[in-house]
């Protein structure tokens, strides 16, 4: 099996050593070098040609975001960000996801984490997964926001609709592409599960809200779902949808993680299966693993459901869409730039 060559970038000598030691314990990972700042990182990427880079968000000389943008422009390679969980750190990490980072690992406590061992397995797993990422999808130019050719006619809809999106690795960038192409008069609410820890989903929602014409917010327990608004599941709880008093409401569920995930796409999709009066549009995009496939099977069996999966060529990681496609529960396979149009068309059918 191929050895994965890793470059570790962090301004702390302590963190460089810990990250290097952790990664080197895995038989497939070889740390081929380290760098203290962004400028040094760019030089070493050009010279050493690593398969994956771990990149600290906060560094002197050239910070992680600037370094990442230069990497994706000059030497595209899968990057895993290593981030602090401060508010500023979370905002920078979400920006990094939009700029092309594959994934991130949150330091348990501050810039120099003496308890980094707590995320050792997560770090190793994400570096391994990053090595399989579709770099072409990370660097592909994205369309600007459309001039709302997708807008709905004023005719009343005979049936309430709801859109549910599930995504994981590479998801923040995919969500940006889809949500910014949805028209402001979208005749359905959108509920979205992005695998992400607590403390980062609010920053994701805020960033997407600033970019999209629809409203994007972190979901709140018990709120009524409104058309033209997208609700991002908070990290650490499952997001489910219930029909209460004739309205669709977001509810939180603290049952155990499903296949390691909370929120889980399966849990969201399964909750929608109990809602009979709605037209349901389920979307599975980039991500490692198969979360969403079991829930989608149950959702399809409930009827009145259209399932859309992201095509291989645009998915950063094709695992989640592939699992759903191979299970035979997908109606439409679409490249990322066409998913918004497929959603709008499905609502109107």
Question: What amino acid positions are annotated as catalytic residues?
Answer: 168, 195, 291
* Element holding 326 (H helix, E strand): helix 319-326
Can you spell out the DSSP letters for 195-241?
Answer: ---TTTHHHHHHHHHHH-SSEEEE--TTPBP-TTEEEEPPTTSEEEE
Can you spell out the DSSP letters for 168-183?
Answer: -TTHHHHHHHHHTTS-
Contact 148, 213 (CB under 8 A): yes
61 sits in the region (left: phi over 0; alpha: psi -120 to 50; else beta) called left
Contact 265, 273 (CB under 8 A): no
CA gap 49, 262 in Å, rounded: 35
């Amino acid at each position: 099996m191929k050895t994965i060559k890793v470059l570790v970038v962090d301004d702390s000598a302590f963190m460089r050593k810990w990250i290097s030691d952790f990664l080197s314990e895995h038989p497939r990972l070889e740390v081929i070098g380290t760098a203290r700042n962004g400028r040094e990182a760019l030089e070493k990427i050009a010279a050493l040609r690593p398969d994956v880079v771990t990149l600290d968000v906060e560094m002197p000389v050239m910070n992680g975001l600037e370094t990442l943008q230069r990497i994706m422009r000059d030497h595209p390679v899968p990057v895993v960000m290593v981030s602090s969980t401060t508010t500023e750190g979370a905002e920078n990490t979400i920006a990094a996801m939009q700029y092309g980072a594959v994934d991130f690992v949150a330091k348990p406590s501050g810039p120099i984490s003496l308890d980094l061992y707590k995320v050792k397995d997560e770090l190793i797993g994400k570096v391994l997964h990053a090595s399989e990422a579709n770099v072409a999808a990370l660097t592909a130019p994205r369309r600007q926001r459309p001039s709302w050719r997708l807008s709905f006619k004023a005719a009343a809809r005979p049936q309430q609709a709801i859109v549910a999106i599930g995504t994981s690795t590479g998801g923040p960038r995919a969500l940006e592409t889809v949500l910014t192409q949805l028209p402001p008069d979208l005749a359905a609410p959108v509920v979205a599960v992005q695998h992400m820890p607590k403390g980062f989903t609010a920053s994701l929602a805020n960033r997407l809200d600033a970019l999209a014409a629809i409203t994007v917010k972190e979901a709140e327990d018990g709120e009524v779902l409104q058309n033209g608004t997208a609700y991002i599941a908070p990290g650490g709880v499952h997001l489910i949808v219930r029909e209460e008093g004739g309205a669709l409401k977001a509810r939180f569920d603290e049952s155990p993680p499903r296949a390691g995930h909370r929120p889980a796409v399966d849990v969201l999709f399964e909750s929608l299966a109990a809602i009979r009066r709605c037209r349901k549009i389920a979307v599975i995009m980039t991500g490692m693993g198969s979360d969403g496939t079991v829930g989608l099977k149950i959702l399809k069996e409930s009827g009145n459901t259209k399932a859309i999966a992201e095509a291989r060529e645009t998915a950063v990681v094709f695992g989640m869409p592939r699992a759903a496609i191979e299970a035979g529960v997908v109606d439409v396979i679409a490249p990322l730039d066409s998913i918004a149009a497929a959603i709008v068309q499905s609502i109107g059918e």
